[in-house]
Structure 1
Amino acid sequence: MAPKSWQHGLLRTALAVAVLAKGVMSTEILQTSGFSSCNTNSSVSVQRVNISYNNDNKTVTFDVAGTSSKVQNVTAVLNVTAYGQQIYSNSFDPCAPGTFVEQLCPVPAGTFAAKGTQAIPKQYADLVPSIAFQIPDIAAMATLQLRAKDSGEKVACIQSQVTNGKTASIPAVSYVAAGVAGAALVLTGVSAVGAVVAGGSAAAGSSAAGGLGTISPSFTEVFGWFQGMAMNGMLSVQYPQVYRSFAKNFGFSTGLVPWVGLQRSIDGFRNMTGGNLTTDSVDFLHNATLVFDDGSTNNTALKIKRAVAHFLVLSGRDFETSINGTSDGNSTSDPNSTTESIRVAVNGIQAYVNELSIPSANTFMTVLLIVAIVIAAIAVGILLVKVILEFWALFGSFPKSLTGFRKHYWGSIARAITSLILLLYGVWVLYCIFQFTHGDSWAAKTLAGVTLGVFTGILVFFSWKIWWTARKLKMAEGDASALYDDKDIWVKYSLFYESYKKDYWWIFVPTILYMFAKGFTLAAADGHGMVQTIAQLVIEGIMLILLLWSRPYERKSSNVINIVIQVVRVLSVVCILVFVEEFGIAQTTQTVTGVVLIAVQSTLTGVLAILIAWNAIVACCKENPHRKRRKEMGTS
């Protein structure tokens, strides 16, 4: 087999199976993505390997540098796998006339380097399917071994992923998702303002507290949906790379924001409070290669020293080389640039956060600081509004409808913070339990315990107060309708039950338990994919049954939307069963399932965005049904 032939065979066969997924791109380039050693005692090592194929001009460009401890004759063995299946294998002698490669016949002693560009014959370039350049996160791996001719001993082994540079992890997706959530938040505000104008000053406070869930999809529903997709990506199963990249887009909804400066500060805090930064810090992570359960890797920084063979020069003859510093061209390779790199096996929550450049032991502190920033922003924002209203009252005609907000500044802050706790409770449980089991800083563990206790205590307190109030109302009036009809009670507690019908005010309690159970089982069973998946399926299934049985929301549209969301959640976990390692499902099937899962979840996200746009028009026209009922009773 000619040198050019086997090189193009590598590209052709590695990419032909990639038709199992879909994607969009504009530049047709295939390239290696880092490399790693698959041999512990190599006599040949490389410091740099880069190769790319440009389909526009049909050329292969390569750059390689390495060292060899001695002169030796070798046999090269090339294997290519795609989606877990071996699709190409070839063995050749670099010194044979038909496969002669000067740089490997024999392998030289000392340092060597080569770089150049080689044109690819049209008959080989045409064999690469065009769809191969359009697929994000293709799962193809090339492995080359060099074996000593005399003993058969493996003297070098290199592995490298083949990628087209396209990925489902796109910043624009996160920005669009954040925009959808922001639109839902604005819609919530529009609904609240409409209620303020209609309801008067006393009702204004209740509107600010209880308007979140009246119109669906609300901010809490949309944000909860994004959190669910992010949490799906944290299960300890063999996700295909394309779905793992997709799920990473929604990490922001769980408080995971890549911020190197913040991570360095947390590293310093951990270092002073019993943390071990040796193998779990932002600096370590930036110099490591993440290895996932499916065998794929993610290079978080420049990768350097690897024990490897320099097979890339097999792609052609038109290149520059150097041996022991003697160049036969104008090579710019620097074979002396060596730094040890580390491969780290990751899965589950650690894999998810590490891909976002967050050390696993920093996870809780990252979310804690982000939430603290959000709370500070809320407090400052509400204070700013209050200052504006105070100046308005002093120098202008102050609207009566805004009197309630002006007088209930601290109550508004308390309601906003309680709303935030309710929104984040599930992921907060997740990160606190993860900190207890994976954290190393005693101070961070203490903060996790204190905040989890405080958050849980606040929700338990309100749950008990609402239950106790409802019980008193039933004893005095025969039912709990005053939870909705009495303005004072509504102002205090409606945040928890405004979206629900009168007979189902208590649904917020199983909803809180649902969030706790999801976060707890995901973190407590981290590393045990089957246990996690089955537990999540049971939890999601019970919640779906509850919604189907009760249909608790005041608006019919809210019932339909929330039931559809819950159905998709259940179906998503059913799909995730395919990725459980113990079931032994073929990687091709897993990839197809991952693409289907992306399609379903993306479709629902798009539907929610459309509904938000529609509701933005309706929000100003329809009055809160509970407030309307109070007005009809003459109590508004």
Structure 2
Amino acid sequence: MVPALSKALLLLAAALPFAHADNRKIESRSLNPCQANTSISATLFNVAFTPSNRSLDFDIEFVSTVSAKVNAEMELLVYGYSAMKEDLNPCDTKNNIEGMCPMSAGNIKVQSNLDISADIMSRIPGVAYTIPDLDAVVRIKVTDQATGEQIGCVEAELSNGHSVDQKAVAWVTAIIAVFGLVASAITSGLGHSNTAAHVAANAMSLFGYFQAQAFLGMCAVPLPPIVAAWTQNFQWSMGIIRVGFLQRMATWYQRATGGTPTTYLRQLAYISVEVQKKMKRGLDSLPMTKRAVYGINNAVGALAARSNSDSTNTQHSTNVVLHGIERVGFKAKIEPTNIFFTGYTFFVIFVIFVTIGVIAFKFICEGLVKAGKMKHDQFTDFRNGWRTVLKGILFRVILIGFPQMMVLGFWELTKRDSAGEVVLAVFTIVSMIAILGWASSKVVRIAQRSIIMHKNPAYILYSDPIALNKWGFLYVQFKATMYYFIIPVLGYTLVKAMFIGFAQGSGTAQAIALVIIEAGLLIGVSVLRPYMDKKTNGFNIAIAAVNFLSAIFFLVFTEVFKQPAIVTGVMGVIFFIYNAVFALVLLLMVLVSSGFAIFTKNPDTRYQPMRDDRGSFIKSQTQLTTELDALGATARGEGKGTHARLDDDDDAMSISSADQQRQLANKEGGFTEHYQPAPPRSPINPTGPSPYGSNGSVPSQAPPLYYNNHNVSPPASNGYGRTASLRSEQQQYRSANNSSPWQRGAGYDH
């Protein structure tokens, strides 16, 4: 077993830089109980092993409630495998452990230096000094020499100073994700709508993957050290970022609104705070209810700890086990009672900075145009309709922050740190659900009207610049026929956040729920393939598959299958490897696509036109390439200033006859010249029989062609003033070139 384990560890350590021999060290600074009714509790524990001189230095202070001659057994567990076991007799002159021969009740201080034999040194794998987040534990069991009864059990987690939890990883992932979103916005402003849609879709999916990794770290599942460290890299996406003055502000706000903040970070000198990693084997034999009582007693004892450090010599030390969201906050050096306020504050700051950035960019563009440094036709749509664009960007920001605020808000409702924070949580949850729910219903209503009026959901969704800029963030990443898929995605996020936030008391329940939820999403995106093209579908299916696999791993980490500890340890290493590789691939893909979008003259050439013909709806009709369509536009006298804006308001969208459309065009033609110059033509023929009733209502007996016959071409395109011969000519042209473009796309030809 040992050679196999060594080979597995070597595979991971091969890419790591090996430290110099005299700099290698394994140390531990925390001691945790592994027995329910232990008679030994530590107040200070510092142990360091230096292989260069084979010395084991330890400085320990603990409280004992028994007086007797004792024996001690020390066991080294590496990834759950028992690598070494030694018997220690404190009264042996070779060991020379002061204060334990015999052990007496009260405060005991032990300071010693032991020489480790060459035989023991040879049994320690070299990778133990370099592998990140070493999963190694030293367990010491103390027994009474007279009775043989075990009176205490403590264990220390070892660290070699290497970890995959690196600030550089968090910064790089955050910068690339934000760069993708900014690149899509700039590309859209330059008129490359196809590229902007692809980059934005991939950047949002990447951001979603990061949040999914953060969700896993927030689960109350006992995690291997390397898994806890890896998921910690993505907690910035949840707003879990330590800033000194924000922590002071959070503490002040909590106290001002009737709360009592925790002070764990300031009491580390005399309380033992343990971030939950794995279930204590010594507690496995206890019933679940007793385990829960044991943990509650520890937490209550910690809260009752006196804040005067001078009294630490006379009081029993307390042990606090933090799991889930509290574990994540503590590792980020944030007090548990400050976690919600920290995440909420960063979300508000993000909204403010985005708003200021958009406004500043507007005035910068205007200044550059006036100074002659930028062409007048650059960012024209943004400069003239920047308020609408700003609304759409703020909606997208709310969509990005939705997972973060749902998890933290639901969790705050269970913790109730203060009345003020509960009010913030309720307001945030209700407002964000209402905003995104209303926006989603708006998209559905617009698409349904487009189907009724034009036999195509993409017509109004993409031809109206106001609807596209304001609500496009909800549907541009999907095929036109799957405009509604944002609703299942929001439901998936909401249900997932509810289990993470509300079920912090049961990691097993969270793991089982995640497996079911992730499986549902994976099946949905694999069967429906709702995204805009094959590449985007593949991108998102891969993310869903990895999230589902991670959920299965977390179910194993709960130890519901009672697997050996070494299996859990090895699976933790595998979890890190495949997620690290996958994250790197996603980052490179988003980085490359964003770079091409910004630095390429015509980035749209990298992408195939969408099959739902959204490009023809977005572009001006005068920009179409066929001579017949150009001739039709000339015959109609179309030009700039004649566009009838298809507003997304309910009243304006009730237009159902060609006469009303012409009146609207004449009325608003000069008002919207900064939008698309000419509208794409509806497949409804105004000169033919109207599919609507005489009063403009839609007859219930006339379902649209969109649902009836995929092979029947709709009537000829709308042509104001077009002659019969020209219409006949167009019909002959389209007959010779397969079905109508209104059917060729939007998923009709599948």
Q: Same fold, TM exceeding 0.5?
A: yes
**Is residue 2:415 matched to residue 1:438?**
yes
The residue type equivalent to 2:198 in the other structure is T
Q: Which residue of 1 aligns with 2:400?
A: 423
Give the deviation of 1:104 after TM superposition.
4.5
Query: What does the per-residue CA deviation read over 1:439-461, in whole Å, with 9 as the maximum and x for residues that have no partner?
Result: 23121111111111111111122
Q: Which residue of 2 aligns with 1:159?
A: 155
Deviation at 1:71, TM superposition (A): 8.8
Q: What residue number does 1:311 align with?
A: none
- 1:125 pairs with 2:107: no
Cα–Cα, structure 1 residues 122 and 153, in superposed 2: closer, same or farther, change >3 Å?
Answer: closer
* RMSD (Å) for aligned C-alpha atoms: 3.8
Match of 2:166 in 1: 170
CA 1:283–1:264: 2 relative to 1, 3 Å: farther
Q: Give 1:424 shift.
A: 1.9
C-alpha deviation, 1:558, in angstroms? 0.9
Q: What residue in structure 1 maps to residue 453 of structure 2? A: 476
- Residue type of the partner of 1:575? F
Mean alpha-carbon deviation: is it higher for 468-477 or for 599-608? 468-477
Structure 2 match to 1:292: 276
Q: In structure 1, how many angstroms separate the alpha carbons of the residues matched to 2:63 and 2:158?
A: 24
- Post-superposition Cα deviations, 1:395-443, rounded to whole Å, max 9, x if no partner, equal 4476233343233343333222211111121232221111111223121
Q: How far is 1:595 from its partner?
A: 1.5
Q: Aligned pair in 2 of structure 1 residues 266, 283: CA closer, same or farther (>3 Å)? A: farther
Matches within 5 A, 1:391-410: 391-396=367-372, 399-410=376-387
Extract unaligned runs of 5+ from structure 2. Answer: 282-309, 623-675, 678-750
Residues 185 and 218 of structure 1 are in contact (CA less than 8 Å); yes or no, is this contact kept in structure 2? Answer: no
- For 1:35 and 1:48, how far apart are their aligned partners in 2? 8
**Matched residue SS, 1:165:** coil
Query: Which deviates more from structure 2 when the two are superposed, residues 564-573 or residues 109-118?
Result: 109-118
Question: 1:77 is matched with which residue: 73, 84, 89?
Answer: 73
Contact 2:129 2:160 (8 Å CA) reproduced: yes
**CA distance in structure 2 between the aligned counterparts of 1:575 and 1:46, rounded to whole angstroms:** 34
Alignment of 1:201-280 (within 5 A): 213-215=197-199, 218-277=202-261, 279=262
Contact 1:217 1:608 in 2 (8 A): no
Corresponding residue of 1:510: 488
Note the C-alpha offset of 1:222: 1.1
SS at match of 2:273: strand
- Select 1:579's aligned residue among 557, 563, 583: 557
Provide the rounded CA distance (Å) in 2 between the counterparts of 1:226 and 1:499. Answer: 18
Rounded Cα–Cα distance in structure 1 between residues aligned with 2:72 and 2:419: 52
> For residues 333-356 of structure 1, what are the alpha-carbon distances to aligned partners after superposition, in whole Å with 9 as ceiling and x for unaligned?
x99988865321232333233322
Look up the match of 2:426.
Answer: 449
Q: 1:519 to 1:96 in 2, by over 3 A?
A: closer
Q: Matched residue of 1:584: which SS? A: coil
- Deviation at residue 583 of structure 1 after TM alignment: 2.7
1:113, distance to aligned residue in structure 2 (A):
6.3
- TM-score between both structures, scaled by the size of structure 2: 0.68
Distance 1:363 1:123, change over 3 A: closer
Q: Find the residue that maps to 1:597 and give its secondary structure.
A: helix
DSSP 3-state at the match of 1:239: coil
Alignment-derived partner of residue 138 in structure 2 = 142
| Pairing partner for 1:373 from 349, 352, 355 | 349
Distance 2:511 2:60 in 1: 44
Verify: 1:614 aligned to 2:592, yes or no. Answer: yes
Q: Which residue of 2 aligns with 1:356?
A: 332
Assess, with a 3 A threshold, how the Cα gap between structure 1 residues 183 and 137 changes in structure 2: closer, same or farther.
same
What SS does structure 1 have at the residue aligned with 2:379?
helix
Aligned AA for 1:505?
Y
The one-letter code sitting in structure 2 at the alignment partner of 1:175 is W
Is the Cα contact below 8 Å between 1:217 and 1:611 reproduced in 2?
no
Q: What is the CA–CA distance in structure 2 between the aligned matches of 1:118 and 1:154, rounded to whole Å? A: 24
For the residue of structure 1 that corresponds to 2:123, the secondary structure is coil
Aligned-partner Cα distance in 1 for 2:7–2:104: 36
**Contact 2:43 2:272 (8 Å CA) reproduced:** no
Moved more, 588-597 or 483-492: 483-492
Among 489, 497, 515, the residue aligned to 1:537? 515
C-alpha separation in 2, matches of 1:127 and 1:461: 64
Alignment of 1:283-322 (within 5 A): 283=266, 288-292=272-276, 294-295=278-279
How many Å apart are 1:107 and its aligned residue? 5.6
Q: Alpha-carbon deviation of 1:115?
A: 5.5
Q: Distance in 2 between matches of 1:110 and 1:450?
A: 52
2:190, 2:378 within 8 Å by CA — same for their partners in 1? no
**Paired residue type of 1:378:** V
In the TM superposition, residue 67 of structure 1 has moved relative to its aligned partner by 8.2
Rg larger in structure: 2
Q: 1:615 deviation in Å?
A: 1.5
- After superposing the two structures, state which structure 1 stretch, 445-454 or 161-170, moved more: 161-170
Matching residue within 12, 25, 28 for 1:22: 12
Residues 1:378 and 1:132: Cα distance change in structure 2 (over 3 Å) = same
Of 561, 574, 594, 1:596 maps to 574
- TM-score, normalised to structure 1, is 0.79
Distance 1:18 1:152, change over 3 A: farther
Q: Aligned pair in 2 of structure 1 residues 603, 90: CA closer, same or farther (>3 Å)?
A: closer
Q: Give the conservation status (yes or no) of the 8 Å contact 1:174–1:249.
A: yes
Looking at structure 2, the residues matched to 68 and 567 of structure 1 have their Cα atoms a distance apart, in angstroms, of 51
Does residue 460 of structure 1 match 2:437? yes
Residue 383 of structure 1 corresponds to which residue in structure 2? 359
Structure 1 residues 181 and 111: CA distance shift in structure 2, 3 A? same
Letter paired with 2:398:
I
Question: Residues 175 and 237 (structure 1 numbering): CA distance in 2 closer, same or farther, change over 3 Å?
Answer: same
Asked if the contact 1:17/1:82 (under 8 Å) is kept, the reply is no
Question: Cα deviation per residue 1:368-393 (whole Å; 9 max; x = unaligned)?
Answer: 10011111111222222233234345
Q: How far, CA to CA, are the matches of 1:114 and 1:458 in structure 2? A: 61
Which residue of 344, 352, 368 corresponds with 2:320? 344
Q: For 1:2-38, what per-residue CA distance to the aligned partner results, in whole angstroms no more than 9, with x for missing partners?
A: xxxxxxxxxx99x979949834352421122322466
Q: Determine what percentage of the aligned residue pairs are the same residue.
A: 24
How far the C-alpha of 1:152 sits from its partner, in A, is: 5.8
Q: Which amino acid aligns with 1:463?
A: S
- Indicate if the aligned counterparts of 1:84 and 1:588 stay in contact, CA closer than 8 A: yes
Other-structure match for 1:552? 530
Cα displacement (A) at 1:531: 2.6
Structure 1 gap ranges (5+): 1-11, 199-206, 298-333
Give 1:99 shift: 5.8
